[in-house]
Structure 1
Amino acid sequence: MPNYSTSTEIDATPEAVWTVLSDVEHMPEWTPSMTSVEIIDGPNPPDVGTQVRIEQPKMRLAIWLVDEWDPPRHFAWISEAAGVTTQAEHLVEPLPEGRSRVTLAITQTGGLAWLLGGLTRGRTRQYVNAELGGLKARVKP
């Protein structure tokens, strides 16, 4: 069960949404929740097994491993640190009339997940909401 999940509808096809969402190295251009995204091992666009270095404001540098990649509908990546595994999911669903629903979810597991989740809950929600809002503003129909 996600620690936090939110969705929005976008007036664009899943393919148009996926084009923006899957270009992970350009995420900092459209979301203030990321200052730097760099593929450090694997193909671009990513695939299962690709490692990505992500810098975010007020957070430690993290290495994320793409563990699910299903264009143009879904990708997820995981990061492990200090007894916590964090998974971030990105789901794009088709809607009638060429529209899409995008859902972003964060799930934390592990022995210290309760502690880290409690300490970062507000920032996590703020960053997920910023990513979703930035994606919606960036995608062109």
Structure 2
Amino acid sequence: MWNHEYTGETTAAPEAVWAVLKDIDDWARWDTSMEAVSLLGAFEVGGKVSMTPTGQEPIVSVITDIQDGVRYADETEFEGVVLRFSHTLSPRGDGGTRVVHRLEISGPQADRVGPELGPAITEDFPQAMAALLARAVDLAAGTGTDGATGGTTGGGAR
């Protein structure tokens, strides 16, 4: 197995961050690694999401966990690996939010594929996190200030 986490914090309340995450059809506006993202059906466990990474073919992920206002997770299976992505929100004492974005690569080919594929996928986590949090601040406050900070809290093969 291979996994990586990236943590960011924002002054925006968890509800504002959740509103951005939940609006899957809008992800490509703030996640610059995506050409297009669309929800295929309902926003519920078992629902599907079509994602077109920049310069690549579309992939379809399955929503595996939704805890309203707290956690969103999906997974994609291909070529002997399962990619599990999650965003977990925690309220801060000052009304802001801490967000952990995690990728876990498992499956029969994970030990072979993970160390190469994982860093390629997660290299944009800092930019994507900053954009997510900036969008949440904009949504909550209607300002251009991003109010977001981020930092790596782990990574690599484990």
| TM-score (normalised: structure 1) | 0.90
Amino acid of the structure 2 residue aligned with 1:35: E
Which runs of structure 2 are paired with 1:13-28 in the superposition (5 Å)? 13-28=13-28
Corresponding position of 2:58: 61
Partners of 2:16 and 2:136 within 8 A in 1: yes
Q: Is the contact between residue 2 and residue 114 of structure 2 (CA under 8 Å) also seen in structure 1?
A: no
Matched position secondary structure for 1:19: helix
Letter in 1 for 2:76: S
Return the offset for 1:81.
Answer: 0.6
User: 1:74-99 deviations in whole A, cap 9, x for unaligned?
Assistant: 01001101111110011011011211
> 2:104 and 2:35 mapped to 1: Cα distance?
22
In structure 1, list runs of 5 or more residues that go unmatched. Answer: none
Distance in 2 between residues matched to 1:110 and 1:37, nearest whole Å: 25
Q: 1:60 to 1:117 in 2, by over 3 A?
A: farther
Residue 47 (structure 1) aligned with residue 41 (structure 2): no
Cα pair distance change 1:107/1:58, threshold 3 Å: farther
Of residues 91-100 and 116-125 in structure 1, the stretch that sits farther from structure 2 once superposed is: 116-125
The Cα of 1:58 is off from its aligned counterpart by 4.6
In structure 2, distance between residues paired with 1:130 and 1:33: 9
Counterpart in 2 of 1:114? Answer: 111
SS in 1 for 2:34: coil
Please tell me the root mean square deviation across aligned C-alpha atoms, in Å. Answer: 1.6
Contact 2:85 2:104 in 1 (8 A): yes
TM-score (norm 2): 0.81
One-letter identity of the residue aligned with 1:34: M
**Count of aligned residue pairs for this structure pair:** 138
Matches of 1:21 and 1:65, distance apart in 2: 15
- 1:15/1:2 CA distance change after superposition, 3 Å: farther
- Structure label with greater radius of gyration: 2
Instruction: Determine what percentage of the aligned residue pairs are the same residue.
Output: 25
Are residue 4 (structure 1) and residue 4 (structure 2) matched? yes
Give ranges in structure 2 of 5+ residues lacking alignment. 141-158
1:73 pairs, out of 48, 70, 73, with: 70
Structure 1 residue 121: Cα displacement: 3.0
